[in-house]
A = this chain, B = another copy of it.
């Protein structure tokens, strides 16, 4: 961590009774900040507000969060800022003893190192052995229960593999571990529906909005992967990375991936 605010105060500690620590009872945002300006701010705020509402967490005013993001990123050219809203030390027991409490952590981290120029060359990926559990109650949410992602990322050590593709138990393609996924067929841009598992990324939502006439959310099965003309990944930090391989299937970074990258460069 570069700098961390807990409920607005400079601190690197939270209560050992916090429900995020005990249960993962909260939501988070991971935001790219360039020269003090958070990218896709409104998208992050919309998702955070929706997540708090679904988990019955109190809303935090955007102005407070923006000020804190700017405080922890001050003097950093480019950094990553993580916002965590947890239910706080609201009582041990699955049911909170106190309602309407929360703990707010806003912390900056150095920008993760990137090898080469993956936005041009594309990235190598693999299909994870772990299958995501189907849980509509939590699907789409960027909540703090992330052991599936931790376990999936522990499956490989090869540093040339950038990401792992996640399927659900019925062999539907859902996402990558820290990115959403898009497949191009005949100039149509498809991305998995995330009503049963997966995380609705802020970059995914921005792409769906910008290319709404060519985009479609649908069920995507594993057998569609080798048939896709192009595949690309996206997240709020890295933007858009074409996929050049999924295990033994190979792809060329193509014109639609480039078009989405060009759109992103203009934002």
Contact = CB atoms under 8 A, between A and B. Distances in A.
Contacts of A131: 135
Contacts of A24: 23-24, 144-147
B147 A143 contact: yes
A135 B138 contact: no
Contacts of A75: none
Contacts of A194: none
Contacts of A134: 133-134, 169
A1 interface: yes
B16 A105 contact: yes
Contact of A13 (B13, B94, B148, B169): B13
Nearest to A4: B16
Contacts of A84: 21-22
A12 B18 CA distance: 10
A42 interface: no
B151 A137 contact: yes
A110 to B, nearest CB: 10
A22 B28 contact: yes
Contacts of A146: 22-25, 94, 145
Given A56-B154, A137-B130, A14 B21 contact: yes
18 contacts: A1-B92, A12-B17, A14-B14, A18-B21, A21-B105, A22-B28, A23-B146, A24-B144, A24-B145, A24-B147, A25-B147, A56-B154, A82-B92, A94-B146, A94-B153, A96-B150, A133-B197, A134-B134
